Each structure stands twice: as C-alpha cells, then as structure tokens.
Amino acid sequence: LKIEDTQPETHAFPWFGMDIGGTLVKLVYFEPVDITAEEEQEEVENLKSIRRYLTSNVAYGKTGVRDVHLELRNLTMCGRTGNLHFIRFPTQAMPRFIQMGRDKNFSSLHTTLCATGGGAYKFENDFRTMADLELLKLDELDCLIRGLLYIDRVGFNGHPECYYFQNPSDPNSCVKKPCNLDNHFPMLLVNIGSGVSILAVYSENNYKRVTGTSLGGGTFLGLCCLLTGCETFEEALEMASKGDSTNVDKLVKDIYGGDYERFGLQGSAVASSFGHMMCKEKRDSISKEDLARATLITITNNIGSIARMCAVNEKIERVVFVGNFLRINTVSTKLLAYAMDFWSKGQLRALFLEHEGYFGAVGALMELLKTSEDL
C-alpha cells in the first residue's frame, strides 16, 4: 500500500524528515493546506509559529535556505493535502538548530523527529540534552532509496523528476530529456555527498551497497578552498566555470605527442591529473580558476570511472547520480553523462533527479508516516 493512498488517523503534526549529513542538513517539511476551521482553532501556538516561520521565509538565520523551486505543491500524503518544502543548512549550524527547537518548545508537541544520516547518531545525545527531543534514527541508504522512488512516483508538480542527456558526447546536440525511474530496475545509484556511496538497487526493498569512495563533494570543496582561497561551494563552482583544466592536468598528448592509439586513449584524455603542477613554471602560469576547474574535473571523472566499473561488474546499464555535489553543478552533471556514454560506447546511461540531495530526508519523512499506518 503506497503512502499516497493511505487514509487519515495519522501522526500528529508537524511532519518533518531530516537527513544530517557530513556537510549539510536536509530538512523536508510538510505544510498542510487542508486545515479545517476546527483544526485551526485547536492548533497549539508553537505549532502555528513553526508553520509560519518555515513557510513565510526562504532564508533562516545566516545559512539556512529553502529551495522554493523544488517545492512540491498540493501533494497528498496519508490523506492530507499540502506542500512539501525543501530546506537545507550546514551541519555546522546544528547546535543553533537544536537551540531553535528548544526555544520553540518543539518537545511539547510530542511528535517524533525522524532523522537519518550520520548526524542522527552523532547528535542524538545533543538533541536529547539540549532540546529534550528523541530522534527516531533511520539508515541513510534505506531512506535514500525510499525517498527517491517516492518522488519519482509522485512527480515534480506534473513534470518528470528524472532526466538524462541525449547525445551527451556531442555538445551541439546534447539535450536534456525527461524520463521515469519506474521499471528501471536494476539501477546503480551513486550518491555524491561529502563522500560517495554506490548502491545496486534491484527493487524497492532489495539493494546492496556495492562500494564507495572518499573522493567526493567534500574533497572538491576542501581542495578548492586550499588551492584558491574560496570559501563556499558556490564560489568554487563559479571559479571552475571560468577555468581551463588542461593547463593543470597532463594529457595523453603531453606525453605521447598525440593519441595513445594502441589502447584507444585520445590525446585529449587526462593521463595525470594535476600532472603539470610539479613544474614551477607551470605553477606560476596558471590561475585560481584553472585550479578550481581541474579539481572539479578530477573528482568528477574519478567518480564516473568508479561508477562505470561498478556498472560493468554488476551488469547494470542505468546509473542514477544524486547528492548535493550536483546541486547547480551542470559541469559535473554533463561530464558524468558524457563519461558514462563515451567510455561504455553507449552501453551505459546516466540519469539525474531534480531533488538531488533531498531523498534521504524524504525517506525519513515517509518512515514517520509509515509508522502511523501501523497505529
């Protein structure tokens, strides 16, 4: 029985799902829009205050952001109709968030706070001692899959959630195309957050974690900050968009003078990432933008290469990339689409999802509502 079809007798509001990751906290909040006059009258003050605070702002404090463009409107969940909001803030601001929960007397609402991600374990005690809140801890990969399949099912305000690139190897005809994950099993799911997890998903309830890599979004941002002096993900991407990585990387043609034909390696392929940087003259001649670009390309191509090996190993043709490393990052998205297509000679297809890094939080919310089904 799917969540969208269940009936009332549900969990008390507010309905939250939380994913406390290594870098970002992702929060989804269900704002009911079908509140009756009676309900409204009975609604306690702090619940109303939370609802107003979240829905009438798009920024919270200095670092909280509500991704309005991702809002799902008029969604039906457990017999209620409402809007699903997508909010994020740095995990570093967690103490502030917990403090807010305490100030707004969240614990008096007797609601369960479903949380996933490593932070659900790491901050469990802090929630208890600082805000008198009990977290219901859920596994991050269980939540990721559950959330992803749900959003794909309900769609994005009438549009498809999932997309791919047609002709990814041809910049002139490369075009974004919608698709649908339903009946797309098995699929390889690559979650690129601070680090990377790669899962082989056979059905909603049958998956395994194939492997992971520690060279993820956190590596890109950490290295960029060190190499260029930038401070945020957005700055790093901005710099990368203007740089030329071939000034930094040693290409096959720099070593061979052309292609390495025997093994099908084009001259333009990177032989050694950052390979030019051992030469002082080259170090003195490149820009911060070049370094940012090289860092982005290196991390992205490494993930693509590992994903491809897993796909071959597991005999899976569809590779779905999610996670906040891809947020506003079309360079990486297109590069992954190209890499999957090119290196597999068209056998593999890269798929992407609009709600990128929020699926864990959605999965946590669904677990909250599911437990109420059993009541």
Partner 1 sequence: MSHRAFPWFGMDIGGTLVKLVYFEPKDITAEEEQEEVESLRSIRHYLTSNTAYGTTGIRDVHLEMKDLSLCGRTGNLHFIRFPTHDLPVFMQMGRNKHFSSLHTTLCATGGGAYKFESDFRTMADLELHKLDELDCLVRGVLYIDSVITSGPSECYYFENPTDLDHSAQKPYTLENHYPLLLVNIGSGVSILAVYSENNYKRVTGTSLGGGTFLGLCCLLTGCSTFEEALEMASQGESTHVDKLVRDIYGGDYERFGLPGWTVASSFGSMMFKEKRESVSKEDLARATLVTITNNIGSITRMCALNENIERVVFVGNFLRVNILSMKLLAYAMDYWSNGQLKALFLRHEGYFGAVGALLGLLHPS
Residues belonging to the active site = 140
- Which member of 15, 18, 23, 359 binds partner 1 (CB under 8 A)? 23
Q: Does residue 287 touch partner 1 according to CB under 8 A?
A: no
Q: Which is nearer to partner 1, 41 or 263 (CB)?
A: 263
Q: Does residue 339 touch partner 1 according to CB under 8 A?
A: no
Q: Which is nearer to partner 1, 43 or 343 (CB)?
A: 343
| Total Cβ atoms within 10 A of residue 45 | 9
User: Is the C-alpha dihedral spanning 246, 248, 252, 258 positive or negative?
Assistant: positive
Stretch that binds partner 1, among 103-111, 150-158, 211-219, 364-372 (CB under 8 A): 211-219
Peptide bond into 186 cis (omega under 30): yes
Q: Does residue 305 touch partner 1 according to CB under 8 A?
A: yes
CB of 274 to partner 1, least distance (A): 3
- Which member of 300, 301, 332, 333 binds partner 1 (CB under 8 A)? 301
Please report, for residues 88, 98, 192, 210, the alpha-carbon distance to residue 93 in angstroms, rounded to integers and kept in the order given.
11, 9, 21, 32
CB of 27 within 8 A of CB of 375? no
Q: Which is nearer to partner 1, 298 or 332 (CB)?
A: 298
Site string for partner 1, 157-196 (x = CB under 8 A): -------------------------------------xx-
Q: Which is nearer to partner 1, 25 or 70 (CB)?
A: 25
Tell me the two tokens of residue 305.
């290469």
Number of residues engaging partner 1 in binding (CB under 8 A): 68
Q: Which of residues 47-106 bind partner 1 (CB under 8 A)?
A: 92
Q: Does residue 155 touch partner 1 according to CB under 8 A?
A: no
Q: Which is nearer to partner 1, 185 or 343 (CB)?
A: 343
Q: Does residue 271 touch partner 1 according to CB under 8 A?
A: yes
Angle value at C-alpha 355, between 137 and 138, nearest 5 degrees: 10
Stretch that binds partner 1, among 65-73, 74-82, 271-279, 347-355 (CB under 8 A): 271-279
- Containing H/E element for 222? helix 217-228
Closest residue by Cα to residue 144 from 123, 119, 117, 122 = 117
| Total Cβ atoms within 10 A of residue 79 | 13
Q: Does residue 312 touch partner 1 according to CB under 8 A?
A: yes
CB of 111 within 8 A of CB of 54? no
Q: Which of residues 135-154 bind partner 1 (CB under 8 A)?
A: 139, 141
Q: Does residue 336 touch partner 1 according to CB under 8 A?
A: no
Question: Pairing between strand 72-77 and 80-90?
Answer: antiparallel
Name 226's Cβ contacts closer than 8 Å, sequence gap at least 6: none
Q: Does residue 215 touch partner 1 according to CB under 8 A?
A: yes
- Which member of 32, 160, 186, 222 binds partner 1 (CB under 8 A)? 222
DSSP string, 9-70: S-PPSPEEEEEE-SSEEEEEEEEES---HHHHHH--HHHHHHHHHHHS-SEETTTEEE-GGG
Q: Which is nearer to partner 1, 174 or 309 (CB)?
A: 309
Q: Does residue 134 touch partner 1 according to CB under 8 A?
A: no
Longest dimension (CA), the chain: 78
Please report, for residues 3, 166, 266, 328, 336, the alpha-carbon distance to residue 342 in angstroms, rounded to integers and kept in the order given.
39, 12, 12, 23, 10
Q: Which SS3 state, helix, strand or coil, does residue 372 take?
A: helix
Q: Which is nearer to partner 1, 255 or 331 (CB)?
A: 255
Q: Which of residues 31-50 bind partner 1 (CB under 8 A)?
A: none
- Which member of 257, 345, 374, 375 binds partner 1 (CB under 8 A)? 257
CB of 179 within 8 A of CB of 164? yes
Binding residues for partner 1, rule: CB under 8 A, are 21-23, 92, 117-119, 121-124, 139, 141, 194-195, 209, 211-219, 221-223, 225-227, 231, 248-250, 252, 254-258, 260, 262-263, 265, 269-280, 283, 291, 298, 301-302, 305-306, 309-310, 312-313
